[in-house]
Amino acid sequence: MKTTALFLTLLLASQTAYSANYCSTPGSKVFESIVRIAGDDGSNGSGIVIAKNLILTAAHVLDEAQIPYIGYDGTFKEGRMLLIDEENDLALLEAPTGDLKPLAIGTEDMEINDKVWAVGYPRATVLTMTPGVLENDDGMTLHTSAEIDSGDSGGGLIGCQQGKHVLAGMLRGYGAIKRGGEYIKIANYSASVAARSITEFIQINNMLATNQIQLSPLETKY
């Protein structure tokens, strides 16, 4: 009887842990947090709404642009650059986000083989999602099997924490090898800036003091 009771206790504990780290495939509630980014120099990329009127994107997307534009609902709205961290390839923009829901920023490190989903606008076309798993976390970059393309940079790497979708990282780029003078993209690979670096970027620049960003990710309902 004691053995059976112990087995049931362990089984229930395992089921609880599994449900806490399980998320179904992201849907519209997550997708509306991912926007298009365009520059007045013709550049294109993706961005993530992380708070009201605040959008995170990759710094290299707007490297030569003077004015950034944020696109959603079929229109583009002019924004302005607030902060930039070229070393970590992060940029924070301010622009009207309307009723778009901010995406919660993850607060926990992921485990190898955890499921992830890369969401962005490849080649400035339609919103696209590709699934994958975390293959390596070298402390600065998340390496995953979620394949991305040009234009996905600045988009969201979606993960799961406590049964909720969160921003696990920001899509930064894909790998390529040089053959015969041409670069060939590596299939099933992408690199992302980890959520912890995004959080540090915000905190270092004292954005929390203005109450513009509230880092309480699991309060967001999806």
Select from 69, 154, 164 the least CA-distant residue to 118: 154
d(CA 55, CA 97): 8
Identify the band that residue 142 occupies on the pLDDT scale cut at 50, 70 and 90.
very high
pLDDT tops 70 at residue 20: no
Give the per-residue pLDDT at 206. Answer: 55
Give the per-residue pLDDT at 148. Answer: 97
Give the per-residue pLDDT at 66. Answer: 95
pLDDT tops 90 at residue 14: no
- Give the mean model confidence (pLDDT) for residues 15-23: 54
Give the per-residue pLDDT at 128. Answer: 97
Domains defined for the chain, CATH in brackets: 31-101+203-215 (2.40.10.10), 104-196 (2.40.10.10)
pLDDT tops 80 at residue 214: no
pLDDT tops 50 at residue 23: yes
Cα angle 53-85-216, degrees, rounded to a multiple of 5: 45
d(CA 207, CA 54): 11
Identify the band that residue 210 occupies on the pLDDT scale cut at 50, 70 and 90.
low
pLDDT digits (tens, 9 = 90+) for 37-67: 999 999 999 999 999 999 999 999 999 999 9
To which residue do tokens 């842990």 refer?
Answer: 17
d(CA 27, CA 24): 9
pLDDT tops 90 at residue 217: no
Give the per-residue pLDDT at 182. Answer: 83
Give the per-residue pLDDT at 105. Answer: 96
pLDDT digits (tens, 9 = 90+) for 73-131: 999 999 999 889 999 999 999 999 999 999 999 999 999 999 999 999 999 999 999 99
Residue 107: its H or E element: none
pTM listed for this prediction: 0.83
Give the per-residue pLDDT at 109. Answer: 93
User: In 10 A of CB 34, how many CB atoms?
Assistant: 28
Give the per-residue pLDDT at 203. Answer: 82
Select from 101, 118, 113, 115 the least CA-distant residue to 217: 101
State the Rg of the chain over Cα: 18
Give the per-residue pLDDT at 184. Answer: 85
Give the per-residue pLDDT at 183. Answer: 81
